[in-house]
């Protein structure tokens, strides 16, 4: 009897684990550039937790952009890693496709954000992009 109970418990845990893993599969957009409101490459300078344990706000210093017109910094909402979000690290650089879905703030998530080699590959495909003019350069 104990053996059957153990088998049932193991099966329940396997099924529950499969559902959790499935819930964390990234939604990869078919046309990220077309669907994004802004596309940029920049350094993560700040991350702030919100009152919602599944959400945080991230702030990037934009270096180059391909779509939209960022104003030096881009502030986005994104899921936390606890809730299947991207594992952002302050000081690292990312290629970000940001969209507007459920909130007034721009958003990004897994499948819309790239670092390291994946970012390099996508940047090559995107082309040179535009560099933000600094205030000093604009006043000369």
Q: Which residues contact 111 (CB under 8 A, 6 or more apart)?
A: 26, 27, 28, 29, 32
Q: Where are the domains of the chain?
A: 32-139
Judged by average pLDDT, the poorest of 11-20, 54-63, 86-95, 112-121 is 11-20
Q: What is the pLDDT of residue 3?
A: 57
Q: What is the pLDDT of residue 81?
A: 83
Q: What is the pLDDT of residue 132?
A: 79
How big is the chain by its Cα radius of gyration, in Å?
19
- Per-residue pLDDT reduced to its tens digit, 56-93: 999 999 999 999 988 899 999 998 888 888 889 999 99
In the predicted structure, residue 135 carries a pLDDT above the cut 60:
no
Work out the pLDDT band at 130, boundaries 50, 70, 90.
very high
Q: What is the pLDDT of residue 50?
A: 84
> Structurally, what CATH architecture does the domain formed by 32-139 represent?
Beta Barrel (2.40)
- Provide the strand spans (E) within the chain: 38-49, 55-67, 73-79, 93-98, 113-114, 130-131
Q: What is the pLDDT of residue 4?
A: 64
In the predicted structure, residue 7 carries a pLDDT above the cut 70:
no
CB atoms within 10 A of CB 120: 12
Q: What is the pLDDT of residue 100?
A: 85
Judged by average pLDDT, the poorest of 21-25, 66-70, 97-101, 117-121 is 21-25
């Amino acid at each position: 009897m104990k053996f059957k109970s153990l088998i049932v418990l193991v099966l329940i845990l396997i099924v529950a684990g499969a559902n959790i893993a499935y819930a964390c599969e990234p939604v990869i957009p078919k046309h990220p550039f077309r669907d994004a409101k802004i596309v940029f490459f920049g350094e993560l300078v700040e991350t702030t937790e919100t009152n919602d344990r599944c959400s945080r706000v991230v702030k990037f210093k934009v270096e180059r952009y391909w779509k939209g017109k960022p104003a030096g910094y881009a502030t986005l909402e994104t899921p936390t890693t606890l809730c299947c979000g991207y594992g952002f690290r302050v000081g690292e650089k990312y290629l970000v496709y940001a969209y507007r879905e459920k909130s007034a703030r721009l958003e990004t998530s897994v499948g819309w954000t790239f670092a390291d080699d994946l970012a390099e590959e996508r940047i090559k495909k995107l082309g040179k992009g535009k560099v933000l003019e600094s205030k000093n350069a604009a006043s000369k």
